[in-house]
Amino acid sequence: MSKKKLLILPFLLINGVVIFAALFKGIQISLGYYPLIGLNQISLTNYQQVLNDPFFRKSLGYSCYLALTATFLSLLLGVVLSFLLLKVKTPWLHKIIGLPISLPHIIVSLMIMQLIGQTGIISRIFFQLGLIQEVGQFPLFIHDPGGVGIILVFLYKEVPYVAITTLAILRQLQLGYVEVARNLGASTIRIFFSIILPMIQKTLMTLFIILFCFTFASFEVPYLLGNPSNQTVALTAHDLFTQADLTTRPQAFALNFVMSGICLVVATIALIISRILPGGRKAA
């Protein structure tokens, strides 16, 4: 073993012990073993209660809607933006587009709230221009059932991330095949789906997994901009954990492990699909 690996070993051991100890403790509590409140029997009751709860199913559907919508739109807009940046050789423009990546989601949420809220900047501009008679006539984009404000926050953060990541891959690809296909009379659409998309497919699938898991388990954005009647799974778990009744905490832990399981299943399915598609290793 090299000296570099030996130097890293203590760091890995310390962090590994902390992570696995917390994971083991969380599994114990989710299975009903919580001696602090007198629970000493291990069972799957908490998981059954969580999965059979209609409110959880509603939260699960809403979380999947937000995650899938934000992820697919981010991938679509990000890929389009990456091709535009590939043609524009302006370094300062690339830096400006990459700025949202460094902003925390809380800051972006407050920005969106001040921008498109019913008392925000745009509504007041519309009022001054006489387009609306009162600010209440401005469409509800914050705390709305559809989660428009939440999706806009994710798009603001994730579209530049997808664009910058995809652009880095496009610059490394050998695009001579594109010129050959164009000389042979292939259309732009055919070139994209037959040549370019298989080349960047693995990157896009990796981005899909990252963005879906993050948006699905996101807490702060739905907490600030969400509708009280439509809670995400993360908010439901937070409510269970922060209740004064400590008997709901095992359900909160169970809900968190269910969230992790869903993310793991989605990631596995995405990787399998990636292998089957033309750009996958099986096809190669």
Q: Where are the domains of the chain?
A: 31-276
What is the end-to-end Cα distance of the chain in Å, rounded? 35
pTM, rounded to two decimals: 0.85
| pLDDT of residue 61 exceeding 80 | yes
Give the mean pLDDT of 182-190: 76
Confidence of residue 284 (pLDDT cuts 50, 70, 90): very low
Classify residue 34 by its DSSP letter. B
Q: Is 175 exposed, middle or buried (0-12, 13-18, 19+ CB in 10 A)?
A: middle
d(CA 64, CA 59) in angstroms, rounded, equals: 9
Classify residue 278 by its DSSP letter. T
| Inter-CA distances, 44 with 4, 48, 187, 245, 260, Å | 44, 6, 56, 20, 17
User: How many percent of the chain have pLDDT more than 70?
Assistant: 95
Q: What is the pLDDT of residue 263?
A: 93
| pLDDT of residue 175 exceeding 70 | no
- Note whether 135 and 50 are within 8 A (CB): no
- The yes or no reply on domain 31-276 and CATH 1.10.3720.10 is yes
Most confidently predicted of 68-72, 80-84, 115-119, 229-233: 68-72
Give the mean pLDDT of 12-40: 84
Within 10 Å of residue 218's Cβ, how many Cβ atoms? 22
| pLDDT of residue 72 exceeding 80 | yes
Q: What is the pLDDT of residue 214?
A: 92
Q: What is the pLDDT of residue 182?
A: 75
Q: What is the pLDDT of residue 170?
A: 82
Query: With the CA atoms of 226, 231, 232 and 233 taken in that order, what torsion angle do they form, in degrees rounded to the nearest 10?
Result: 150
Q: What is the pLDDT of residue 213?
A: 93
Q: What is the pLDDT of residue 281?
A: 54
Per-residue pLDDT tens over the stretch 104-131: 999 999 999 999 888 888 888 888 888 8
Mean pLDDT of the chain: 85
Q: What is the pLDDT of residue 70?
A: 94
Confidence of residue 158 (pLDDT cuts 50, 70, 90): very high
